[in-house]
Amino acid sequence: MGRIELDGLTKRYGDVVAVDGVSLDIADGEFLVLLGPSGCGKSTLLRLVAGLITPSGGRVLLDGRDITHAPPARRDLAMVFQSYALYPHLTVARNIGFPLRAARTPRAEVRRRVEEVAALLELGPLLDRRPRELSGGQRQRVAVGRAIIRDPRAFLMDEPLSNLDAKLRQATRAQFRMLHETLGSTVLYVTHDQVEALSLATRIAMLDDGRLEQLGTPTEVYDTPASVFVAGFLGSPPMNLLPARVECHDGRVRVLADDVEVDLWPGEDVEARDVILGIRPEHLHLMAAEGPAGPGGMPRLRGVVRAVENLGAEESAQCAVGGALVHFRGARPLGLAAGQPVALTTARDHIHLFDRHSGRRLAWRPLADRPLADRQSADHEPAAALHDGVTTHQRSST
């Protein structure tokens, strides 16, 4: 068992609020990744759960038991540190066995368990070495070994892969996923690397400035970012975010900005408002021909190519659209050169809108049960909504 509940957890350092009222319910067996930029409070949150620092407010529950003030030793949680924190004076075997010896486990039992763990992590031949005689990847595995030998209720990991090179990181990611499937334990995992988060997590908790921005599966977080912050954090390059305005013109609800025209749906009853228009680089593509930008036309962004970057399988182009820089990527070659004028378009489903002031996502929902072709036809516009928590604009036509 290993269900961790956080209830309004807060940590203040003087005026700095490192963790700001975070509530989370991490189910048993879940692989929850805390994702966010440097300094957003990920490590602090993890250390609060570990009991290494005491919160300024809120509670931590482990399997329903309040452990907010229990010392780390009584929490039955194991931690893997970014620095690995191996004991330099002990051999690998003694490092791995350290938590068991602290619990006064009989010697023979310790030896047996150490050998088991070493076999699982392929550390067998290294058991008599000291940490300084190991490579980075081997140290990392020893650190993991020291955590799993205790069979704890949950694992806490603070950027365990950040000291490895790219290739090893990928291999270790796969190993973590396997380990999680084998052991089935709860993992609370901190990283600032979105690839790690998207590939490992069962759910991602996005943190910004100590606050929980969004909680969801990798798919949810990537496909429907809850805020400008989340949208701008995920993806490489991240989502294009352009200041724009929603207006009604000639019986159509449209999103307008310099050199940008997006026709949403027919209607008049949407209040004009400032928004942020978001489109992922991989969802943009070149407009075949200059189609009509009139009612029901495809979303259109006009710009000039500034640079083209080779990413291996794909190419990424940066285009100046209005005053902003828009990235788009597609299969190589894109057939573009710097200085060339382009027109970009995207499917309407791939349009994200955020409130300009709060940065929160505006739900705008084309009616999902219509076939795509139908939705794009001029005559049968789907029902759609544009709303946030405060104002709701509902509209249904047809």
Ligand X SMILES: Nc1ncnc2c1ncn2[C@@H]1O[C@H](COP(=O)(O)OP(=O)(O)OP(=O)(O)O)[C@@H](O)[C@H]1O
Question: What does the binding site for another protein look like in residue numbers (CB under 8 A)?
Answer: 47, 50, 52, 71-73, 77-79, 81-89, 98-99, 102-103, 130-132, 136, 139, 146, 150, 163
Question: Do 224 and 361 form a contact (C-beta atoms < 8 A)?
Answer: yes
**Residue 89 binds ligand X, judged by CB under 6 A:** no
The DSSP call for residue 224 is S
Our finding on whether 83 is near ligand X (CB under 6 A) is no
Nearest residue (CB) to another protein, 98 versus 233? 98
Of 47 and 327, the one with the shorter C-beta distance to ligand X is 47
Amino acid at 58: G
Using CB under 6 A, which of the segments 11-19, 73-81, 102-110, 251-259 binds ligand X? 11-19
Contact partner at residue 98 from ligand X, Mg ion, another protein, none, CB < 5 to 8 Å by partner kind:
another protein
The CA distance from 313 to 37, in Å, is 28
When asked if residue 44 is in the footprint of ligand X (CB under 6 A), the reply is yes
Euclidean distance between CA atoms 216 and 207, whole angstroms: 12
Residues 40-59 that bind Mg ion (CB under 5 A): 43
Compute the least distance from the CB of residue 126 to another protein, in Å: 14
Angle formed at CA 386 by CA 384 and CA 387, multiple of 5 degrees: 135
Q: Which two three-digit tokens encode residue 79?
A: 């931690």
Q: Which stretch binds Mg ion (CB under 5 A): 16-24, 36-44, 108-116, 125-133?
A: 36-44
State yes or no: residue 38 binds ligand X (CB under 6 A).
yes
Closest to Mg ion by CB, 43 vs 227, is 43
Closest C-alpha to 197, from 169, 211, 218: 218
Among 20, 24, 41, 152, binds ligand X (CB under 6 A): 41
Longest Cα pair distance anywhere in the chain, in angstroms?
82
Minimum distance from residue 14 beta carbon to ligand X (Å) = 7
243 Cβ contact partners less than 8 Å away, ≥ 6 residues apart: 257, 274, 275, 276, 277, 324, 356
DSSP 147-168: HHTT--SEEEEESTTTTS-HHH
Task: Give the shortest CB-398-to-ligand X separation in angstroms.
Answer: 48
Rule CB under 6 A: say whether 18 interacts with ligand X: yes
Helices (H), the chain: 42-50, 92-102, 107-120, 136-148, 166-183, 194-200, 218-223, 228-233, 372-376
Nearer to ligand X, 17 or 183 (CB): 17
Residue 78 binds which of another protein, ligand X, Mg ion, none (CB < 5-8 A, kind-dependent): another protein
Comparing CB distances to ligand X, the nearer of 36 and 131 is: 36
Binding string, residues 172-211; x marks residues near ligand X by CB under 6 A: --------------------x-------------------
Residue nearer to another protein on the CB measure, 127 or 215 = 127
Query: Which one of another protein, ligand X, Mg ion, none is in contact with 81 (Cβ closer than 5 to 8 A by kind)?
Result: another protein
Shortest spacing between CB 15 and ligand X, in angstroms: 10
User: 319 phi and psi, to 5 degrees?
Assistant: -125, 140
Our CB check for another protein shows the closer of 57 and 72 to be: 72
Helix (H, G, I), strand (E, B) or coil at 126: helix
At 249, list the tokens. Answer: 């013109």
How many other C-beta atoms are found inside a 10 Å radius of the C-beta of residue 202? 15
Inter-CA distances, 143 with 32, 77, 85, 103, 379, Å: 20, 14, 7, 18, 62
The reply on whether position 16 binds ligand X by CB under 6 A is: yes
Contact 338, 332 (CB under 8 A): no
Q: Name the token pair of 365.
A: 């929902």
* Contact residues for ligand X, defined by CB under 6 A: 13, 16, 18, 36, 38-44, 192
* Contact residues for Mg ion, defined by CB under 5 A: 43
